[in-house]
Chain A
Amino acid sequence: MRKLALLSCLVLLCSQLWAQNRIISGKVLDEKGNPVPGASVQIKGSRRGTSTTPDGVFSISVPASAKAFNVSSVNFTTQEIPISENMTIVLKIATNPNLQEVVVVAYGTQKKSEVTSAISTVNADAIKNQQIVSVGQALQGTAPGVLVVNTNGQPGENPTIRIRGIGSIGASAAPLIVLDGIPYDGNINMINPQDIENFSVLKDASASALYGSRAGNGVILITTKSGRRNAAPSINLSAVYGISSRAIKDYDYVNTQQQFELGWEALRNTYLSSTNPATVANAIPLATQNLIKNGFRYNPYGPSFPNPVGTDGKLVAGAKPLWNDDWTKALQRSTAARRDVNIGIGGGTDRSKYYFSAGYLNQDGYVIKSNYRRVTATLNYNTDLTNWLTVGARANIVNSKQNFPAQGDGTYSDVVQYGRTMSSVFPIYARNDSGVIIKDVNGKPIFDYGKPAPLPRTVNVNRPVLAPSNVVGTVNLDNWNYDRLLTNLNTYGQVNFTKNLFFKTTFGINRYVLDQLHYEDKDFGDASNLGGRVYRQQDLTTSWTFNNMIGYDQRFGDHHIEAMASYESYKYNLESIYGSKTGFAFSGQQQLSNATTAEQFEGYTVSSTLVSLLARVKYDYQGKYFAEFTIRRDGSSVFAPGYRYGTFPAGGISWLLTKEDFMRGVSFVNFLKIRASYGALGNQALLDGSGNASYFPYLNTYASGNNDITNPGVYLNQLANYRIKWEKQVSTNIGIDFELFKSRFTGSIDLFQKNSLDLIQNKPLPPSSGFGSIITNISKLQNKGIELNLAYGILRSKDFNWDVSFNITYLKNKIVSLLPGTDTFAAVGAYRNVVGKSIYEFYMPVWAGVDPATGGGQWWIDSTDVSGNPTGKSVKTNSYTTAQTKQKWVGSGLPKFTGGFSTKLGYKGFDLNVLFYFALGAKYYDNNYSDLMNGTYSGFGSQLSTDELRRWSKAGDITDVPKLNSSKNDEEQRSTRFLYNGDFVRLRNITLGYTFNSSDLTKKVLKSVRLYVQADNLLTWDHLKKGSDPESALNGNANGNAFPFKTLSAGLDFNF
């Protein structure tokens, strides 16, 4: 207590020195004598200061004791100038402005030159130049080591983000998101990209170990904008309007005539394979006779052509389709709009700074009804209450609404796959036997649900594809909405005991409400037999973090020590209530109260907690040698008592070579630093077998809600593993940062290796045990790679500036060990986990083309001699079942190389930005295309690719497309037939802008106006079938989601 009193006396002493003041004024000029506007003039040793006017002039009241100003401005070296009357200060252009940059690190900030770890930063400019919805998308191609995959073109969906590879198999591999210092538990689509000042991606152990058991997969620190001290209010108003459409064109489908001719051939082939000789003998006339009745059941050629395909397999002359409906077109928007309006106001006085922003985004998806709207408002305020106490708060409220028509789930209401399945053979509106549209009593056409009808109707009913359904009809009646509300409040107070010692307390709370409403229409669609259904779910997530920190910073001659110790507690709480009811009286009503019968009404609460102690010590000698050590000890409620605590230490060193005497002579090297780090991290984000967060893996749980009619019931749903513990990541990083040729050429190289140990996986049990698996710490993974980041200022002149930058990451993911004997059965879909291969290593039969004799598929297998030993040769087999027993590793779904290339050109008022993203070395399995090569197996009239026109049709045909066959589809099964080289380059963004400066405009009010046009996802180069999107999934397996969209937009930025 005595010490504390002493400390406070010190503070008091300081404050008493501000007794007498004088007014000092002056002017700040650059080396050419031009005034520098907006330069910061700060009294040394205090926070008090001012900034210069547009004429470079300043005036400030200073205490008698003040000796000097710190004068700084963007692109100039900060200088310390002794105070005198009527000063003229000349600022020098900074030789290496980047080094003055401050980087946001775990629990604080550091100068870029002092950093010992691997951190990628992405600033507001990179975000501004992209028309994104979810902030994660801004990291694609801009941050080396960060893999961003846009797996869904539904606006508002988040990309999959992985930092330095895939660090986990059975637990979550997603990075921790920290927003302004507080772990973020909302949906990241709720963060307005326009509010972001910068991203810091913490990639190695030294950078992220302070986040301990949550840092195993890397950490993304998001810092939002704040005002500036001593700055007049700056108002930025921006508005963008854009048009979006799918970035990739659709597959090519066969037309109605081709459908019929191919269908005829398939039916003939089926009859030819009959065991009944009479059927075989009459295969051709039977195919013609039965094509409608046993095949399509719809006849678009009308009653005049009851057998539209003749015995020659060709459409009968004169037959014209009565309808030719394009389902895909009917399920997509012709114009999807993007509207984005933002306002930001920032500024500050000598004691405080503030930032206020508000934004509105409205983005349509190209899929019908798909839409995302978001309103955000933020207030960020920091102030020095006294000269020893600073407080600050950031409050943020966001509301978003997302219309999300079903996609990628393979249900009958899947809007994306529906168009990929329904061909033009089938009409959108119901047709009678003569092909005339059937109308309701009001004269409106009725949608065709493809239902069977009682006799005597035999044609244009009972559709063989996706019956009963009509998504064109129901998508407008159904509703699938996500309404989200996020409020978060981050507050802190900091007490500076002395210049060197501070105490900071931080409390941040997120409250996130997800409200889902899913309505299925009462008259049409899946729930029509129930009179409609509404499903409603409300999830309330509350999470808070309370941190108390003591910090210390002291120089002793050449030695500089910075230390921090902190105690933190975190609580996560999810309350979920959901229910559904059926039976609506009126169409149009969609609320629970409107319906009659309660199907379900459930609710539960889950919580998890974490307590932590953390500390950091940083030391440097002469600003030349740096060392940093961090440690965190976490205790988590997710594990059993006895397994709850884990310790995660890390250390890093760096050496600033350019400060050494021997480097003085090497004039072209402006900056050169070597870094190395090593440390341990953890991962506690456990998942259950269904991929949901698991909070009690150590308990046998008898789940409630398994009621039998009205009798209450429980059911054992989890086999506990009491010994489950953290996943661990041990990470090593070596890096070099350099700046050459007057800092025009800058870059960094990082080598990293991340070993993941004790990875949680579901250890398979014999299924006869009643549980397929038990959660266990089994496997080891390794991710290693190289990151290279280069930037070059090609031209720097008064009017013309040209910069290019390039980054590339090489990554190798490898399973190091699995529990003995488990290697063979970790097969997941197209993948198989074995030691030595990546976790997304494709494993499948190898396609060997079509047998010219039979038209069936062939697959390569390793041949064996009579005693079963491999002969080293490959032979072809006609049996898919045989090929399945001899599958092969055929490449990984993970790209080997990813990166970005960007260029920035400025000429007078013009600016041009271009960003490319590329991913190389991955394989891509195209499920969507294989579905279109089903050879009529999926039903007559199901969409077929135009490639089916090349099918084998008679002995001797040399082709790569097998015989049509409606009863067997081995050739459509998984094999390398549908595996492609996944390399691609995407032009992520191109922006052309022109800025009108204040001289062009009315001076006082408007500072500048920028007008720009831009295109996002304009072009893609790949090796895939037309219609496939190479970015479909992290693992290289195509999915059925909407594809990314391209957006052409124009915008205006006003600065007041």
Chain B
Amino acid sequence: MTKIKYKLPLFYTGLCLLLLVGSCKKSFIDGIKPTDSASPADVYASADNVRVYFNGIYRNIRAQWKSTDGTAGGATDTWGYNSVFMCRDVKGIDIVMPYNSWYYFDYQNANREPTYRRVKFMWYFFYELINQINVLIDGTTKSATINDGDKKLLLAEARALRAWFHFELAREFSTPYSKDPNAKGIPVYTTPTSDSTKGNPRGTLQQTFDQINTDIEFAMANIGSSQLLKDQVNYNVACGMAARIYLEQGKWAEAETAAINARKDHTLDAAGYPNNYNGLSSSEVLWGFPQTTENGGQSLYYGTPSSFFVQDGSGYGAFWMSKTLVESFSLTDIRNTFYEYDNDLTAPDAYGTNKFGTAVGSAFDVPLLNGDQVPLKTIDFNESLNMMRMGEMYLIEAEAKARQNKATAADVLLALQQNRDPSAAPSGNTGQALIDEILWERRKELYGELGIDWLDAKRLQLPIDRTTTNHPVPYDYIIPANDPTFELKIPQTELQANKSMTAGDQNQ
């Protein structure tokens, strides 16, 4: 009994202490911090750290993408930058879709309503990246520990991307610049978003392009030449971007110079074409997106072009080639990688292309039109994406020169043609015929990569005429030049949340 006498007070004292300990540990709440992210202080401490942020941005440009709040992207046809190209490709003439698959709605030129996935994806994707760039620019500018030289390099790279993303948006959501520079542009952003952001107005297309031009010119003047990976924007890429931007505005002389500057230290590579420069190691490639299934599944998997172009059953196999385009290639052209798929050569699935995918693991051989028996390519989850190649730079220079009536325009075109086809002969075309030949050459060179025929039709106010080739009923139609279907509508969510926009800002 007496033992308890001592134990009890001790016990109570112990409990009181326990209570005190529990309540005094302030860090119990304040010490809880995230473990899987970095703070702004870390990111802007040095140029190397900003590079880490750049890497994250490049990764999100090229890989499977979903908006930070999960409301856009994330489907096989809204799966990052390649979806931008692929939906443009199927909207044009050169790719044929006989059956329902991903992108079928784009193929019908009907995927443009304000609540549609395509519309939201295009808008959210580029604007998310614009904000990331603005955040990076703001943080880098304000950093007290990065030196001015490094800052200039970082800012130039960032502004090239900012110009590019605005440019892409303008090409999707506005009427062509060539039609009316005073038409509605797209909202321009140059400062980071905060919880008080109200939204910017559309302004005019000219205002949009003014900002684009300012950014890309700053970039060309200040950017470095190195590339950590082919996805990084360097001097060549910035010039290539500028070439496309000037071409869109009809600034032919500037486009010509920029295209020539973009080619610095690079050469054409015909031998790499049949494999579509997969792996990006070729000198032909100025800018491209690598893919890998390793290191976090940085791949598009079934979203890659080969998943849609190869016809061996390993992917969706949904894209076939326009008969007219296929038949315009000579048999000696290295780019003639086509084969007959259907016995009926007027059928929508008459021709397939062996340009995309990989021969590694191929289970079948296929006779190409030129008589070669080659492995039928199979899907490649790690297939790289070409963003900018030498071939295009030659063709921009050729077009810009032709528009300026420079006599050397045909020579530049021929240089490319002969690289691709040793037996190519000069056509002797001049004037509009030469321009038409260059435009056709762009389609031959770049089909399936950038959506070039749709982009050019829009830029030059041309119709999409599908009646002269093998498109299926009822999509064998003509879309007149400057038809409203060339513009995506502004997302409903934007019109509703943007204080600077009204219902009148919607596209037709």
Contacts and interface: CB of A to CB of B under 8 A. Distances in A.
Nearest to B34: A696
A306 interface: no
A294 B472 contact: yes
B52 to A, nearest CB: 5
A456 B342 CA distance: 9
B102 interface: no
B120 A637 contact: no
A577 to B, nearest CB: 12
B293 interface: yes
A711 to B, nearest CB: 4
A276 B467 CA distance: 9
Interface string B52-84: 111111111010000111111000000000000
B348 to A, nearest CB: 8
Given A599-B293, A604-B36, A1 B312 contact: no
A585 interface: no
Interface size on A, as a range, is 35 or more
B36 A705 contact: yes
Identify whether the interface residues of A are mostly helix, strand, loop, or mixed: mixed
Contacts of B113: 881
Contacts of A771: 68-69, 128, 131, 193
A273 B474 CA distance: 7
B69 A762 contact: yes
B37 interface: yes
B203 interface: no
Contact of B193 (A505, A530, A706, A769): A769
Contact of A774 (B28, B123, B195): B195
Contacts of A558: none
Interface string A294-337: 10000000000000000000000000000000000000000000
Contacts of B67: 772
A705 B296 contact: yes
A487 interface: no
A569 B22 contact: yes
Contacts of A452: 311-313, 317
A609 B28 CA distance: 7
B493 A706 contact: no
Contacts of B292: 709
A767 interface: yes
Contacts of A884: 115
Q: Which of B28, B189, B199, B290 gathers the greatest number of chain A CB atoms within 10 Å?
A: B28
Nearest to A456: B343
A237 B397 CA distance: 88
A718 interface: yes
Q: Which of B19, B58, B68, B70 gathers the greatest number of chain A CB atoms within 10 Å?
A: B68
B131 A702 contact: no
A628 B434 CA distance: 92
A611 B341 contact: no
A37 interface: no
A707 B295 contact: yes
Interface stretch (B2-10, B213-221, B448-456): B2-10
B130 A715 contact: no
B122 to A, nearest CB: 11
B271 interface: no
B29 interface: yes
A8 interface: yes
Interface string B423-449: 000000000000000000000000000
Nearest to B193: A769
Contacts of B59: 706-708, 713, 715
A188 interface: no
A930 interface: no
A770 B132 contact: yes
A275 B474 contact: yes
B15 A505 contact: yes
B127 interface: yes
Interface string B119-158: 0100110011111101100000000000000000000000
B476 interface: yes
A580 B98 contact: no
Contact of B56 (A294, A608, A708): A708
A1005 interface: no
Interface stretch (B174-182, B240-248, B258-266, B494-502): B494-502
Nearest to B18: A548
Contacts of B194: 719
B40 interface: yes
A275 B5 contact: no
B295 A713 contact: no
Contacts of B341: 455
Interface residues of B, number: 113
B200 interface: yes
B231 interface: yes
A529 B379 contact: yes
A709 B290 contact: yes
Interface string A247-283: 0000000000000000000000011011110010000
Interface string A687-719: 011100001100111111111111111111111
A772 B131 contact: no
B473 A271 contact: yes
Contacts of B422: none
Nearest to A715: B56
Contacts of B186: 768
Given A708-B229, A709-B295, A825 B343 contact: no
Given A767-B497, A772-B124, A644 B29 contact: yes
Contacts of A530: 293, 381
Contact of B493 (A451, A709, A764): A764
B22 A279 contact: no
Contacts of A569: 22, 28
B365 to A, nearest CB: 9
B23 A599 contact: no
Contacts of B22: 546, 548, 567, 569, 611
Contacts of B312: 451-452, 454
Contacts of B491: 767
Contact of B494 (A580, A636, A695, A767): A767
B64 to A, nearest CB: 12
Contacts of A500: none
Contacts of A713: 52-59
B117 to A, nearest CB: 13
Contacts of A689: 68-71
B298 interface: yes
B415 interface: no
Interface string B301-317: 00000000001111101
Interface string A595-627: 001111010111111110000000000000000
Given A275-B477, A707-B55, A767 B123 contact: yes
Given A1-B9, A454-B312, A772 B68 contact: yes
Given A607-B32, A644-B29, A716 B135 contact: yes
Q: Which of B9, B52, B131 gathers the greatest number of chain A CB atoms within 10 Å?
A: B52
Given A598-B294, A636-B29, A765-B193, 8 more contacts: A293-B347, A386-B4, A530-B381, A708-B228, A709-B295, A767-B72, A768-B187, A770-B134
Top-8 shortest CB links A-B? A770-B131, A451-B313, A689-B69, A713-B56, A766-B199, A713-B55, A706-B56, A715-B56
28 contacts: A8-B8, A271-B473, A275-B477, A279-B473, A454-B364, A454-B366, A455-B341, A462-B317, A464-B100, A505-B18, A528-B314, A582-B293, A600-B296, A604-B35, A606-B34, A609-B32, A695-B32, A701-B34, A701-B37, A702-B53, A713-B52, A714-B52, A716-B68, A718-B68, A765-B195, A768-B123, A768-B200, A825-B496
Interface of B: 1, 4-5, 8-9, 11-13, 15, 18-19, 22-23, 28-30, 32-40, 42-43, 51-60, 62, 67-72, 98-100, 108, 113, 115, 120, 123-124, 127-132, 134-135, 186-187, 189, 193-195, 197-200, 228-229, 231, 290, 292-298, 311-315, 317, 340-343, 347, 364, 366, 376, 378-379, 381, 472-474, 476-477, 491-494, 496-499, 501
